[in-house]
Amino acid sequence: MIQIGKMDKLITLESKTTAANAIGEMIETWSTLAEVWAEETPIGGSESFRANRPLSALTSKFSIWYRDDVGPKERINYAGRVWNISQVRELGRREALEITAEAVL
């Protein structure tokens, strides 16, 4: 289970919203859902090539207190990077969440 002393990273959970711009076009933007304390556990990294360019990614697990509004459609903004959520797993009986996310460098 998660230990409160290890939750030392302040992360921002963001959700996608749609809003009209100045000329009435609907555009997608990201807005802050919540700022929460988390424990980060780095899982690893990977490198690949896309369009003949190297692409690096980091993968981490973030443990936070339970919330019912976080899923793969949301993202995390932390340490100057955007982390795309790939999996959310409930820990205990609505005690905490373990979020697996990847940041492309």
Count of the separate structural domains present in the chain: 1
Instruction: Report the pLDDT averaged over residues 79-83.
Output: 95
Which residues, including other chains, have CB under 8 Å from residue 46's CB and lie 6 or more apart?
56, 57, 59
Domain of 76, CATH number, reads 2.40.10.270
Pairwise CA distance, residues 19 & 57, whole Å: 30
Looking at residue 44, its pLDDT comes to 82
Looking at residue 104, its pLDDT comes to 84
The model's confidence at residue 40, banded by pLDDT at 50, 70 and 90, is: very high
Domain ranges, residue 61? 4-104
